[in-house]
Each structure stands twice: as structure tokens, then as C-alpha cells.
């Protein structure tokens, strides 16, 4: 199969300024995703494209000296704003890559820069899972949620009072249905997903890959500090990249 890996890293960041290239455990955050894409090339015929509006980010990726990463694409301004959706950015760089490389990709895997706690095994297993289901359109990585809408999450009702987000009479979290949260680490799409003009990654034919180890996204400074502690002190129970 022919695949495309997209690495989307815009220059602006409100929660953690400059987070895509912020140093964590002695290397820029984006390096973890770029190096992972390079390792995945040992398993699939892949092209790797960086999507960024930042010359600084592009320069830092260039300094990693991985010639397999194509840096020719420039993300347009309208796809680099706070209001721009990630899916639109993935679609745009995919269209660019297919035109430039004169090919049609069987799958597109987006590796999120801000959620790097993944392994090659995670990715290869997820790709196999997706293609083992003929009807599935895409797959995204998840972790088991710490809160459960059937048990301990509430929302405001139309009458102004609050109740559980989902109906149920479960007396313990363990007895409630299992729910997941997207950890943003990776999204994998079959070609036919893009033919459907979907507006979000969640469709009626989506699959999930439950990451079997700690995996979370960097939204706030405390997230960055926590991940840095785990990496610098070798507290993970797995090896990134293996």
C-alpha cells in the first residue's frame, strides 16, 4: 500500500507559545513525530509531508536532516488561524502531495505533533485494524476516559437544572458503559474517506484504536511539564519509536 504521513504544525499557539518546537527532553517536540514517520517508512511505502505556515518550524525540521520529509508545501494563511480545522489542513496538504507526487494514496496517517506518546506498533496495528474492516472509513487513537457521562459528568438541561450527560442508572463507574476520549495522537484515513466530503473525523463508519499505554495531548503548560517529567526521568513503561 502507498501511504502519506502528514505532520501539521502551525506557528501560532495560545496555550503553550511555540509548543511545536519547544524543547522537551533535549529535542524539539516536533522531532518525535518526524522521527516516528521515518521509522514507519520501514513498514510501508510512505511519503512524508510537513504542513506549516512557519519558516522557523520548517528550518528546525530541516535541521533534523531527514531527507525523506518533504518541506515544499506551505500552509495557506486561512488554514493556519485559531479557527481553522485540523481536517481541512490535512485535506489540503494531501491534495498537494498527490498532485506533486503524481499518485493516489491508499491511506493518509496524520501524526499530531502535540501528542507524541506512541509507538510504531501502535501505528502498524491501527493501520491493519482499519484495513481489516472493508466498510470502515477512518480510525483515530483514543484512551479510556477518566470521567464517564453515564456516571459522573453532568450538563445543563433546558429547565436550568443539571443532570447526567447520558441517561442511565449505573451506581458505579465500573458498571457504566466504557467511554473513550480522543488523545489526538494519530488519525488514519482511507482514500474513500476524502471522497465523502466529511466535515469532522467522526463518521458513522469510524473505528478507534485504544492506545494501551499513557497517551495525552499538550493543551496547557502543566501538560508540557508533566510530559517532560515522564520523558526526562524515564517514567514511561514503553519506548517511544519501538
The domain spans of the chain are 2-143+181-232
**Dist. CA 40–CA 72, nearest whole Å:** 21
DSSP three-state, residue 241 = coil
Confidence of residue 14 (pLDDT cuts 50, 70, 90): low
**Residue 72: count of CB within 10 angstroms of its CB:** 10
Reported pTM: 0.93
Q: Could you give the percent of the chain with pLDDT greater than 90?
A: 86
Please state, in angstroms and as integers, the Cα–Cα distance from residue 197 to each residue in 27, 75, 135, following that order: 37, 20, 16
The yes-or-no verdict on residue 238 having pLDDT over 70 is: yes
Please state, in angstroms and as integers, the Cα–Cα distance from residue 3 to each residue in 41, 188, 231, following that order: 9, 10, 29
Average pLDDT over residues 188-205: 96
Q: What pLDDT score does 241 carry?
A: 66
Q: What pLDDT score does 81 carry?
A: 81
The yes-or-no verdict on residue 92 having pLDDT over 70 is: yes
Average pLDDT over residues 79-86: 84
Confidence of residue 94 (pLDDT cuts 50, 70, 90): very high
Q: What pLDDT score does 75 carry?
A: 95
CATH number assigned to the domain with residue range 2-143+181-232, chosen from the 4 options 3.90.550.10, 3.40.50.720, 3.10.310.70, 3.40.50.300 = 3.90.550.10
Average pLDDT over residues 201-225: 96
Q: What is the mean pLDDT of the chain?
A: 94
Bridge partners, 20 (sequence order): none
Q: What pLDDT score does 11 carry?
A: 86
Q: How would you class 67 by CB atoms within 10 Å of its CB: exposed for 0-12, middle for 13-18, buried for 19 or more? A: exposed
Lowest mean pLDDT among 9-13, 48-52, 229-233: 9-13
Amino acid at each position: 500500500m502507498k501511504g502519506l504521513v502528514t505532520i501539521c504544525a502551525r506557528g501560532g499557539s495560545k496555550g503553550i507559545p511555540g509548543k511545536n518546537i519547544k524543547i522537551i527532553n533535549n529535542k524539539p517536540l516536533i522531532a518525535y513525530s518526524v522521527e516516528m514517520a521515518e521509522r514507519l517508512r520501514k513498514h510501508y511505502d510512505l511519503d512524508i509531508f510537513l504542513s506549516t505556515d512557519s519558516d522557523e518550524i520548517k528550518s528546525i525540521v530541516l535541521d533534523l536532516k531527514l531527507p525523506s520529509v518533504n518541506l515544499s508545501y506551505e500552509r495557506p494563511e486561512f488554514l493556519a488561524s485559531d479557527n481553522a480545522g485540523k481536517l481541512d489542513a490535512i485535506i489540503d496538504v494531501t491534495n498537494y502531495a498527490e498532485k506533486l507526487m503524481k499518485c493516489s494514496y491508499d491511506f493518509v496517517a496524520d501524526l499530531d505533533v502535540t501528542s507524541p506518546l506512541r509507538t510504531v506498533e501502535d501505528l502498524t496495528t491501527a493501520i491493519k485494524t482499519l484495513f481489516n474492516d472493508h466498510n470502515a472509513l477512518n480510525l483515530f487513537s483514543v484512551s479510556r476516559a477518566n470521567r464517564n457521562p453515564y456516571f459522573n459528568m453532568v450538563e445543563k438541561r433546558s429547565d436550568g437544572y443539571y443532570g447526567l450527560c447520558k441517561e442511565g442508572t449505573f451506581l458505579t463507574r465500573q458498571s457504566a458503559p466504557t467511554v473513550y476520549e480522543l488523545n489526538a495522537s494519530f488519525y488514519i484515513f482511507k482514500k474513500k474517506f476524502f471522497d465523502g466530503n466529511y466535515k469532522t473525523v467522526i463518521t458513522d463508519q469510524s473505528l478507534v484504536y485504544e492506545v494501551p499505554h499513557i497517551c495525552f495531548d499538550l493543551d496547557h503548560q502543566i501538560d508540557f511539564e508533566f510530559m517532560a517529567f515522564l520523558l526526562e526521568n524515564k517514567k514511561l513503561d514503553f519506548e517511544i519509536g519501538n
